[in-house]
């Protein structure tokens, strides 16, 4: 008899391998960039020791570490949000943005950037620009989420919620298109750059705020592992096992909003992670049990996001490619390869 | 025998735009511990709606459902989950968890948020797997199971919830005869051994008549007939509800066609040879008349059966017998 289920030997091995990989990739991510810093100095800096050059310490602690930590937070939370949405809607195509979070954020940013001719100059010159964009994005996603949340109190089943989320997305997209049509090239560029996504824009203060919001969302997700497992069987079964489905649905929306909403506000929309990482993790761990999946998906999200960040800064060059493109560019072929070679994603959602 | 669940003048149905759609009215039924109830009725008559109301998922239009004398709506959801478990018709689309994991979901009403199982929980999980004879596939993924095994796993999950009442909505649908018999026998056995009150909606009239302690029958007149299975057959209630066309349940035969020929059956052999000979003859349009001169004698030796016609021709299978008769 297998007493330790749902944990298998393989789960324990991965439980050591994945965190190790996160640490290795973190060090690698911090060591790469336009300025070449020796690995030994990197490790020294990370351990809090003095580096040979003070500027190195500065670069590592003020630029590279915040960026790497942002990658870790964004990877973990987007992936866990995606997992929650896929389970709630029992749909393999669901992701963190199905509730209209990114559409709301885009609309907020578009309204501020595109609709305000006079503000154009502020964005190029001052730091204020960053904060205005963050504020616009979070207000936008916040408004959409409040609407979705209010509706989730009323709707009877999750599928209705899914359709409403998609409709909000279309609506926001349409308004953004109209705004784009009437705006100047310079404003369009600011908006477009935001949609590329960026992990590098955060200072430590912003990072603390992001960490608190993401941490809260992750805690709720962990707390929801049991209801999520029962939801795999459908809402009626979940209810028959004593789960308050309505309450759980609201908690899932709150948790996803905190995580995906705050990441989108600070980093822009980041595609792909939320959709693909849960599938890759299910195949890797060969389970649908959320007791295993939630920590596993969080770790896998970190790994993939750090990898994407490493690739995006093109070793040895000055340029940082848009993270939103990189995630799909290297992610999509990997997912196609994995699902073709490992027998598909459908075992989690069908018989 | 204690009453686990009863209803008081219950009316079930649903509400569309403030208009009540009544499905079954004036329900006063009881579920007794240790009894297996089969709940039958044509498709679309509201069996699932009644079962959903009984387990508290749906609100009644009028009247009430009482679990051990407590009104169901006054019971907390997590407490109710320790009183009633269900097997639904909803498809379960999870492939990559093991049978044991699925069964262990049944313990969730008894565990905290992080789903740690006590030794007691582990024992109950093992027992549920054993009672449903799933041990050989306990660590197999659901995706690799047959329909019958999957259904048994769902029943094991309900068992593992360790409730006094189990409600099953068509647990034998889409299964072959072997699996149907196995599952119904399993439920019968469980009600006897564990004293659980079990209600099962089913379309298997023949199996229900052989196993149920009580039948609930509902037709399109929105009235539920409750009774001892054989009584309901003999007083015609079953026929009335099912409007079995061309089938006489009391005799167990399809409506008599005009006989091609009447024959008399003789033979001292064991009962079931006579029974199946009779079946073959009747199915092919031959009437049985003990007074008739045309005789068919059934003879059984240690390992073979023979049929002798009018003290003359002897045939060694029923197929040949019918072919021979058809050529006369």
Across A105-115, average pLDDT: 84
Q: What is the CATH number of the domain that holds B293?
A: 3.40.50.800
Answer yes or no: is pLDDT of A159 > 90: no
CB contact under 8 A, B115 and A229: yes
Q: Looking at the structure, tell me whether residues B292 and B144 fall in a common domain.
A: no
Unique residue bearing structure tokens 């709150």: A254
Which of B227, B230, B233, B204 minimizes the C-alpha distance to B29? B227
- Tokens encoding B25: 């009215």
B residues 55-94 lying closer than 8 A (beta carbon) to A: 55, 57, 77-82, 84-86, 88, 90-94
Which of A150, A165, A170, A160 minimizes the C-alpha distance to A107? A170
| Total Cβ atoms within 10 A of residue B71 | 11
Domain assignment present for residue B222? The answer is yes
Domain assignment present for residue B253? The answer is no
Long-range contacts of B147-152 (CB under 8 A, 24+ apart): B147/B174, B147/B175, B147/B179, B148/B175, B148/B176, B148/B178, B148/B179, B148/B182, B148/B183, B149/B99, B150/A351, B150/B92, B151/B87, B151/B175, B151/B179, B151/B183, B152/B182, B152/B183, B152/B186
Q: Cα distance from A91 to chain B (closest Cα, Å)?
A: 10
Q: Name the percent of chain A in helix, strand, coil, to the closest 5.
A: 75, 0, 25
CB of B302 within 8 Å of a chain A CB? The answer is no
**% residues pLDDT > 90 (chain A):** 29
| Domains by residue range for chain A, with CATH | 9-348 (1.10.3470.10)
pLDDT confidence bin for B31, thresholds 50/70/90: very high
Across B230-236, average pLDDT: 84
**% residues pLDDT > 70 (chain B):** 94
pLDDT confidence bin for A144, thresholds 50/70/90: confident
Answer yes or no: is pLDDT of A117 > 60: no
Answer yes or no: is pLDDT of B177 > 90: no
Q: Which one of A229, A241, A244 has the shortest CB-CB distance to B109?
A: A241
Q: What's the confidence (pLDDT) of residue A129?
A: 63
Q: Looking at the structure, tell me whether residues B215 and B316 fall in a common domain.
A: no
Cα-flanking dihedrals φ and ψ of residue B205, to 5°?
-60, -45
Rg (CA), chain B: 25
Q: What's the confidence (pLDDT) of residue A75?
A: 96
Q: What's the confidence (pLDDT) of residue B114?
A: 85
Rounded distance between C-alpha atoms, residue A225 and residue A243, angstroms: 12
Rounded distance between C-alpha atoms, residue B156 and residue B128, angstroms: 5
B residues 154-213 lying closer than 8 A (beta carbon) to A: 161
Answer yes or no: is pLDDT of A122 > 70: no
Q: What is the CATH number of the domain that holds B224?
A: 3.40.50.300
CB contact under 8 A, B82 and A242: yes
Q: Looking at the structure, tell me whether residues B219 and B302 fall in a common domain.
A: no
B residues 14-43 lying closer than 8 A (beta carbon) to A: none
Report CA torsion sign: B199, B200, B201, B203. Answer: negative
Rounded distance between C-alpha atoms, residue B140 and residue A87, angstroms: 22
Rounded distance between C-alpha atoms, residue A294 and residue A278, angstroms: 9
Q: Cα distance from A73 to chain B (closest Cα, Å)?
A: 23
Across A10-29, average pLDDT: 91
* Last residue in a domain, options B248, B272, B302: B248
Answer yes or no: is pLDDT of B79 > 60: yes
- Contact between residue B111 and residue B121 where contact means Cβ atoms under 8 Å apart: yes
Rounded distance between C-alpha atoms, residue B113 and residue A204, angstroms: 33
Rounded distance between C-alpha atoms, residue A208 and residue A216, angstroms: 12
Q: How far apart are the first and last CA of chain A?
A: 25
- Tokens encoding B44: 């679309």
Q: Looking at the structure, tell me whether residues B89 and B129 fall in a common domain.
A: yes
For residue range B102-144, what is the model confidence (pLDDT) as tens digits? 999 999 999 988 888 999 999 999 999 998 889 999 999 998 8
Q: What's the confidence (pLDDT) of residue B309?
A: 85
Q: Looking at the structure, tell me whether residues B274 and B231 fall in a common domain.
A: no
**Positions of E strands within chain A:** none
Burial, B239: exposed, middle or buried (Cβ in 10 Å; 0-12, 13-18, 19+)?
middle
* Last residue in a domain, options B248, B271, B306: B248
Looking at the structure of chain B, the number of domains it has is 2
Q: Name the percent of chain B in helix, strand, coil, to the closest 5.
A: 35, 25, 35
Q: Looking at the structure, tell me whether residues B125 and B215 fall in a common domain.
A: yes
Which of B187, B90, B80, B195 minimizes the C-alpha distance to B132? B187
Q: What is the ipTM of this complex?
A: 0.84
Q: Looking at the structure, tell me whether residues B194 and B284 fall in a common domain.
A: no
- Tokens encoding B183: 């599952």
pLDDT confidence bin for B257, thresholds 50/70/90: low
Q: Which of A10-24, A142-156, A261-275, B180-194 has the lowest mean pLDDT?
A: A142-156
- Round the average pLDDT of chain A to a whole number and report it: 84
Q: What's the confidence (pLDDT) of residue A148?
A: 78
Domain assignment present for residue B181? The answer is yes
Strand order through the sheet with B295-300: B286-288, B261-266, B295-300, B305-309, B314-315
Rounded distance between C-alpha atoms, residue A200 and residue B25, angstroms: 66
Domain assignment present for residue B208? The answer is yes
A interface with B, Cβ–Cβ below 8 Å: 1-3, 5-6, 90, 223, 225-226, 229-230, 232-234, 236-237, 239-244, 282, 286-289, 291, 346-351
Across B234-254, average pLDDT: 70
CB of B275 within 8 Å of a chain A CB? The answer is no
| Probe site for chain B from A238, A242, A345 (most B CB atoms < 10 A) | A242
Rounded distance between C-alpha atoms, residue A236 and residue B154, angstroms: 14
CA B41: distance to chain centroid? 12
Domain assignment present for residue B254? The answer is no
Q: Looking at the structure, tell me whether residues B152 and B275 fall in a common domain.
A: no
CB of B139 within 8 Å of a chain A CB? The answer is yes
| Probe site for chain A from B105, B121, B135, B174 (most A CB atoms < 10 A) | B105
Q: Cα distance from A177 to chain B (closest Cα, Å)?
A: 38
Q: Cα torsion for A217, A198, A275, A16, to the nearest 10°?
A: -70
- Enumerate the residues of chain B whose CB falls inside 8 A of the CB of residue A90: 93
- Enumerate the residues of chain A whose CB falls inside 8 A of the CB of residue B135: none
Answer yes or no: is pLDDT of B268 > 70: no
Q: What's the confidence (pLDDT) of residue B247?
A: 63
Answer yes or no: is pLDDT of B175 > 80: yes
- Round the average pLDDT of chain B to a whole number and report it: 86
Q: Looking at the structure, tell me whether residues B219 and B274 fall in a common domain.
A: no
Answer yes or no: is pLDDT of B298 > 70: yes
Per the model's pLDDT, the better-predicted residue between A331 and A81 turns out to be: A81
Domain limits for position B322: 261-327
Q: Looking at the structure, tell me whether residues B294 and B154 fall in a common domain.
A: no
Q: What's the confidence (pLDDT) of residue A81?
A: 94
Q: DSSP for A13-70?
A: HHHHHHHHHHHHHHHHHHH-SSS---HHHHHHHHTTPPPSSHHHHHIIIIIIHHHHHH
* Last residue in a domain, options B201, B218, B248: B248
Q: Which of A288-292, A311-315, B125-129 has the lowest mean pLDDT?
A: A311-315
How many A×B Cβ pairs under 8 Å?
Answer: 110
CB contact under 8 A, B96 and A286: yes
Q: Looking at the structure, tell me whether residues B88 and B226 fall in a common domain.
A: yes
Q: What's the confidence (pLDDT) of residue A1?
A: 42
Domain assignment present for residue B255? The answer is no
**DSSP conformational letter for B141:** B
Answer yes or no: is pLDDT of B249 > 80: no
Q: Looking at the structure, tell me whether residues B282 and B168 fall in a common domain.
A: no
Domain assignment present for residue B218? The answer is yes
Residues with Cβ < 8 Å from B43, sequence gap 6 or more?
A: none
Domain assignment present for residue B79? The answer is yes
């Amino acid at each position: 008899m297998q007493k330790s289920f749902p944990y298998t030997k393989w789960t324990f091995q991965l439980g050591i391998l994945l965190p190790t990989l996160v640490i290795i990739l973190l060090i690698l991510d911090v060591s790469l960039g336009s300025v070449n810093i020796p690995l030994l100095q990197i490790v020294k800096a990370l351990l809090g020791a003095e580096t040979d050059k003070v500027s190195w310490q500065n670069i590592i602690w003020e630029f590279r570490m915040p960026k790497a930590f942002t990658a870790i937070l964004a990877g973990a939370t987007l992936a866990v949000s995606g997992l929650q949405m896929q389970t709630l809607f029992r749909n393999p195509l669901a992701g963190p943005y199905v509730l209209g979070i990114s559409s709301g954020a885009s609309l907020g940013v578009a309204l501020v950037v595109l609709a305000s001719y006079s503000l154009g100059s502020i964005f190029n010159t001052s730091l204020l620009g960053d904060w205005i964009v963050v504020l616009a994005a979070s207000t936008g996603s916040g408004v959409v989420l409040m609407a979705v949340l209010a509706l989730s109190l009323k709707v009877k089943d999750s599928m209705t919620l899914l359709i409403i989320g998609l409709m909000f997305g279309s609506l926001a997209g349409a308004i953004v298109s109209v705004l784009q049509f009437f705006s100047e090239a310079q404003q369009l560029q600011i908006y477009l750059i935001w949609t590329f996504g960026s992990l590098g824009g955060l200072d430590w203060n912003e990072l603390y705020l992001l960490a608190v919001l993401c941490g809260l969302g992750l805690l709720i997700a962990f707390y929801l592992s049991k209801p999520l497992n029962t939801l795999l069987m459908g809402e009626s079964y979940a209810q028959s096992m004593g789960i308050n489905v309505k309450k759980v649905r609201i908690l899932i929306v709150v948790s996803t909003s905190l995580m995906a909403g705050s990441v989108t506000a600070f980093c822009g929309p980041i595609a792909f992670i939320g959709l693909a990482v849960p599938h890759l993790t299910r195949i890797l761990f060969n389970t649908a049990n959320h007791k295993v999946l939630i920590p596993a998906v969080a770790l896998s999200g970190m790994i993939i996001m750090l990898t994407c960040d490493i690739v995006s800064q093109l070793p040895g060059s000055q340029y940082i490619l848009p993270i939103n493109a990189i995630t799909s560019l290297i992610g999509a072929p990997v997912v196609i390869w994995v699902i073709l070679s490992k027998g598909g994603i459908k075992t989690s959602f069908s018989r | 025998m204690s009453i686990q669940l009863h209803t008081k003048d219950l009316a079930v149905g649903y509400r569309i735009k403030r208009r009540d759609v009544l499905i079954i009215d004036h329900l006063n039924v009881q579920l007794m511990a240790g009894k297996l109830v089969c709940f039958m009725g044509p498709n679309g008559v509201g069996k699932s709606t009644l079962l959903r109301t009984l387990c508290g998922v749906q609100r009644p239009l009028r009247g009430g459902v009482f679990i051990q004398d407590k009104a169901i709506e006054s019971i907390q959801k997590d407490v109710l989950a320790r009183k009633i478990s269900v097997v639904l018709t909803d498809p379960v689309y999870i492939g990559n968890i093991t049978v044991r994991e699925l069964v262990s979901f049944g313990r969730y009403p008894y565990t905290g948020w992080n789903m740690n199982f006590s030794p007691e929980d582990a024992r109950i999980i093992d027992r549920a797997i054993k009672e449903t004879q799933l041990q050989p596939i306990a660590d197999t993924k659901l995706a690799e199971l047959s329909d019958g095994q999957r259904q048994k796993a769902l029943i094991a999950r309900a068992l593992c919830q360790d409730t006094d009442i189990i409600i099953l909505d068509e647990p034998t649908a889409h299964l072959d005869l072997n699996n149907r018999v196995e599952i119904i026998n399993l439920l019968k056995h469980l009600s006897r051994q564990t004293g659980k009150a079990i209600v099962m909606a089913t379309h298997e009239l023949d199996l229900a008549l052989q196993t149920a302690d009580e039948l609930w029958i509902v037709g399109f007149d929105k009235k539920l007939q409750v009774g001892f299975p054989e009584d309901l057959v003999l007083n015609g209630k079953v026929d009335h509800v099912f409007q079995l066309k061309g089938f006489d349940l009391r005799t167990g035969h399809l409506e008599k066609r005009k006989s091609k020929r009447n024959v008399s059956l003789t033979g001292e052999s064991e009962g079931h040879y006579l029974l199946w000979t009779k079946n073959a003859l009747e199915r092919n349009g031959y009437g049985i008349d003990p007074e008739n001169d045309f005789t068919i004698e059934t003879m059984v030796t240690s390992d073979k059966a023979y049929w002798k016609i009018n003290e003359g021709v002897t045939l060694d299978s029923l197929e040949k017998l019918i072919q021979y008769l058809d050529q006369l």
